[in-house]
Structure 1
Amino acid sequence: MAFRALGRPEDAEADALAALLVSAIDEVDGRGLLMHVTVSDDLARYFIVTPPANSARVQDLRAAASIRFQTLYGDSDARWHLVADWQAAEPFLACAVPRRVSAALEQAVAATRGCLISVTPEFAGAWNRVRKQLGADAWIATLNGRVLTLGLVGAAPKARLVSVRTLVLPEPVPPLAWLREQIARMALLDNVVPPSILFVQGEPLEAWQGGGAAFTASGREAMSVRWIRSGVRVKSRDKRTGSRVGSTAGALASRFASRITSGRSTS
């Protein structure tokens, strides 16, 4: 069974949020079931960590991630569950979710006599499903309401996730040309080539349908959007190099789940 947190859980204490989750479980007759939980991206914080030179221990990587978190968000990670696909030789994706959210999940599952199998931040789940099929000519994104969480993929020295950025859509929904401009700007900031395909997991937007016939000023075919459903894998090889995206963040979701279910600290 999968469900998402309701209301504004970032403003709720663990007990109050647990009560909301128990009600949600009861509404779908979910007591006593195995549960796979998806955490909305508006509750998660994603960032890329560059490992220190000559890192020899996981503790060194954890320290680097903690410092990176504090630098980006101006806050200690003490109140966050922070997990990552720890890599000593290359930059890696890290993700943090508020501890009150994980505590509420534990309480709600215990109260309903269920079993928490996995806890997966939304973008991390999408990335883990499609990363092996993506080439450097394609990026992945999740759409939650009006918030687009984008995974930027770079090609050198090998295709890998180089950044995760958030884009808030204005009202009304802007056209595909606007999205292409925003993507091109992000690519410039991170010194990567804009994608020819953007795979988006979420509710399809009519304004972003089609658009494959446009071309950029350099004569390159303009980016198109392809919509994917949760749990569906995609195939996209880099037309230039034939390479596929590397393994960064491959185990992030399962590691997050193991920390939550065991109740151990992850910071």
Structure 2
Amino acid sequence: MLKNFTQSLRIDVTPQALRLLRVRRWSKAAPELLAEQPFAPGPGSAFAVGSVATAASLSPNAVAEVFAGALAALLAGQQAAGSAACFVLSDELVRLWQVTPPVQAARLADLEGATALRFHTLYGETPAAWHVSADWNAAAPFMAAAIPRLLKSVIDNSAAQHGLTVTAVLPNFVAAWNRHAGDLKNGAWFGVAQANVLALAACEGGQLRALRHIAIPHGADHYWLTQAAQREALLLGLEPPSLIQLSGEVPAALAKPASSDKHIATAALGAAA
């Protein structure tokens, strides 16, 4: 039985650490950080406490190996049993791609087949080891996401052991898009910053046209973002945006107004919940 309908938990899963946040329902306020637990495999044990600043960046399979111990350490003393929890995975741990539906696609199976074929083309393997979900659309290109089945299984099992009710396991970009898509202005693009990577979503007519992950350099500013967006627009055959609305760990310089009218303007949307 859920113990509190006015709030829930969000657990961020990155290649370096877990983060526990409290989310207030029906509120635009940013989630409140409650605890953080780095992944730090230690001698003689699968998990040892370490520093987030020095934690190694782990692969999805390595994260799965140490996840149970890390979650136990994260939740220690938090009285989380009975809470609803959403697990948000760093984009580095998942795969995101765009699918063009087959001509005259009439069934979900047609879209699933096209999604699997595109996955194989991009990554050189079948999606058998991945849990695939998508914004299925037979009339227009759509986005698909894949989470490693092993990692998802470990998350589900570990959460159950701690009395958590899992409401979702999804990529960071998807969580941010679900929260903010309705707030995007006409002609704007959308960006989600996390761990020095910007997930830049090119939008047209209110629809997501393409998603690119771009490394954020030290000192990133409006000049850098303008150059990056203009380059992506050229590759996609789109008009550059007049505004990029940003969410997540936005660099300080990009949280300020642009210093030149030659630069693309930015606006903050806050964190995903």
Q: Quickly name the TM-score band, shorter chain normalised.
A: 0.7 to 0.9
| Aligned mates of 1:57, 1:22 — CA distance in 2 | 43
Letter in 2 for 1:41: D
Task: Give 1:231 deviation, angstroms.
Answer: 4.5
**Larger relative contact order (CA 8 Å, sep ≥ 6):** 1
Match of 1:76 in 2: 126
Match of 1:152 in 2: 202
Letter in 1 for 2:212: R
- Do the aligned partners of residues 187 and 27 (structure 1) sit closer, same or farther apart at CA in structure 2, a change above 3 Å counting? farther
| Aligned mates of 2:161, 2:65 — CA distance in 1 | 11
Query: Which consecutive unaligned segments of at least 5 residues does structure 2 have?
Result: 1-8, 18-38, 40-57
| Superposed counterparts of 1:1-267, under 5 Å | 1-5=9-13, 6=17, 7=39, 8=58, 10-12=60-62, 14-26=64-76, 28-155=78-205, 159-170=206-217, 172-212=218-258, 214-216=260-262, 222-231=263-272
Conserved 8 A contact 2:225-2:264: no
| Aligned mates of 1:101, 1:69 — CA distance in 2 | 19
Q: What is the root-mean-square deviation in Å for CA atoms of aligned residues? A: 2.0
- Do the aligned partners of residues 149 and 27 (structure 1) sit closer, same or farther apart at CA in structure 2, a change above 3 Å counting? farther
Instruction: Indicate the larger mover: 31-40 or 86-95.
Output: 31-40
Question: Which whole-Å deviations, capped at 9, do the CAs of 1:212-231 have from their partners, x for residues lacking one?
Answer: 35234xxxxx3112222225
SS in structure 1 at match of 2:183: coil
- Do the aligned partners of residues 108 and 95 (structure 1) sit closer, same or farther apart at CA in structure 2, a change above 3 Å counting? same
| Aligned mates of 1:209, 1:61 — CA distance in 2 | 39
Conserved 8 A contact 1:9-1:17: no
- Do the aligned partners of residues 204 and 13 (structure 1) sit closer, same or farther apart at CA in structure 2, a change above 3 Å counting? closer
Task: Give 1:12 deviation, angstroms.
Answer: 1.4
Letter in 2 for 1:179: L
- Do the aligned partners of residues 129 and 13 (structure 1) sit closer, same or farther apart at CA in structure 2, a change above 3 Å counting? closer
Task: Give 1:151 deviation, angstroms.
Answer: 0.9
Conserved 8 A contact 1:4-1:38: yes
| Aligned mates of 1:15, 1:43 — CA distance in 2 | 14
Match of 1:241 in 2: none
What's the TM-score once normalised by structure 2's chain length? 0.75
Question: Which whole-Å deviations, capped at 9, do the CAs of 1:34-75 have from their partners, x for residues lacking one?
Answer: 212211122122111110011111011001001111111222
SS in structure 2 at match of 1:12: helix
Instruction: Indicate the larger mover: 91-100 or 204-213.
Output: 204-213
What's the TM-score once normalised by structure 1's chain length? 0.77
- Do the aligned partners of residues 39 and 27 (structure 1) sit closer, same or farther apart at CA in structure 2, a change above 3 Å counting? farther
Conserved 8 A contact 1:25-1:31: no
Task: Give 1:167 deviation, angstroms.
Answer: 0.2
Conserved 8 A contact 1:144-1:202: yes
Conserved 8 A contact 2:130-2:147: yes
Query: Which consecutive unaligned segments of at least 5 residues does structure 1 have?
Result: 217-221, 233-267
- Do the aligned partners of residues 13 and 87 (structure 1) sit closer, same or farther apart at CA in structure 2, a change above 3 Å counting? same
